[in-house]
Amino acid sequence: MKITDDIIYIGVNDRKLDLFEGQYIVPEGMAYNSYLIIDEKTAVMDSVDGNFSAEWLENIESALGGKAPDYLVIQHMEPDHSSSITAFMDKYPEAVIVSNAKSFPMLKNFYGAEYPERQLTVGEGDTLSLGKHILSFIAAPMVHWPEVIMTYDSADKVFFSADAFGKFGALDADEDWACEARRYYFGIVGKYGAQVQTLLKKAAALEINTICPLHGPVLSENLGYYLDLYNTWSSYGVESEGIVINYTSVYGNTKKAAEKLAALLEAKGCPKVAVNDLARCDMAEAVEDTFRYGTVVLATTTYNGDIFPFMRQFIGDLTERGIKNKKIALIENGSWGPMAIKKMTAMLEGMKNIEYAENSVTIKSALDAESEAKLEALAEELTK
């Protein structure tokens, strides 16, 4: 696949993978992207997962007609992008690795060699001439590992963005970009919003026609849409008007409360109500929804003097990613000693710009007239 006259896609699709990074469900697989820049000198942009080394090397050989590439640019050392490096270096003994200084110790740690005689260390503002293509390197630490660099090709105005602007799913997956890119972002990059904001400021100074990420499709149209979404996500802003209800339930009574509240919100004109059963849904989808909407309802049972395990895990996922700028409403259920609101509030302590709803709801085992009236009051407050 040609990106431009001189830039060729040489990546691979992984349709066998079930869990990305051992935790994210990927029903449509995963793409490991790699690119080849052909000029007076040739540069391969990143490698691929080691399970696909042979296919990737065949792609390189085919694209170059058997010629040897000059450089392998490594922008990110995570193994899904680096575990074919040794196969590449063995096949092309004259090739030079171009990367950040932090990458080479990682290369040794992962694969036992760092090729000291075949290194070209680059950092912020450094350039590499391939001929008419001048590669400029951009430091992007903690987007989402400390060694990350990104690369701008001024000739074709192509931005090689490492893991930024990536998404779950193989390239032949027929699905909406934003949904799986959002789940990918908040699952993997979400903690590092400040670092992404710094990157976006650097990108704003570049004339970009094409974004080439390490996962997901090449982006070449309506780039403002993708950049605006990344700005919203990384500034922890509200992407969509609506309310998300995340709940756990043991015997169905807290579920009834969550569903009752959802119906009340919809009846009062809320444009979108998303409801997630944390014991059964994809937890990453619930995290995605929670960062997407401005108002969040957490409903759970008291369990062993604490909160139900799936809710504890979920709130941990939110705080790990630094959730902020939300209005949060709390619902608890407890038959003899309701503690869930107190425990959830304690877990969220320290998160920035969290506003709690004035109305909270305590259920004693099952909904009754009093707790239903409190749900009504909460729905009224949240839809003002």
Q: What is the pLDDT along the chain (384 residues), one digit of tens a residue?
A: 899 999 999 999 999 999 999 999 999 999 999 999 999 999 999 999 999 999 999 999 999 998 999 999 999 999 999 999 999 999 999 999 999 999 999 999 999 999 999 999 999 999 999 999 999 999 999 999 999 999 999 999 999 999 999 999 999 988 999 999 999 999 999 999 999 999 999 999 999 999 999 999 999 999 999 999 999 999 999 999 999 999 999 999 999 999 999 999 999 999 999 999 999 999 999 999 999 999 999 999 999 999 999 999 999 999 999 999 999 999 999 999 899 999 999 999 999 999 999 999 999 999 999 999 999 999 999 999
CATH architecture label of 7-234: 4-Layer Sandwich (3.60)
pTM for the structure as a whole: 0.93
Separation between Cα atoms, residue 337 and residue 167, nearest integer Å: 44
Separation between Cα atoms, residue 130 and residue 123, nearest integer Å: 17
How many degrees, rounded to 5, is the angle at CA 236 between CA 226 and CA 312? 120
Nearest to 80 by CA among 51, 101, 59: 51
- Where exactly are the structural domains of the chain? 7-234, 241-382
CATH architecture label of 241-382: 3-Layer(aba) Sandwich (3.40)
Look up residue 127 and give its amino acid. Answer: T
Neighbours of 82 (CB within 10 A): 23
H-assigned helices in the chain? 53-64, 79-82, 85-91, 103-111, 177-184, 193-204, 223-234, 253-267, 283-292, 309-320, 340-348, 369-382
CB 88 within 8 A of CB 47: yes
Neighbours of 315 (CB within 10 A): 23
Separation between Cα atoms, residue 100 and residue 122, nearest integer Å: 5
CB 81 within 8 A of CB 161: no
Which structure tokens are listed for 340? Answer: 């869930």
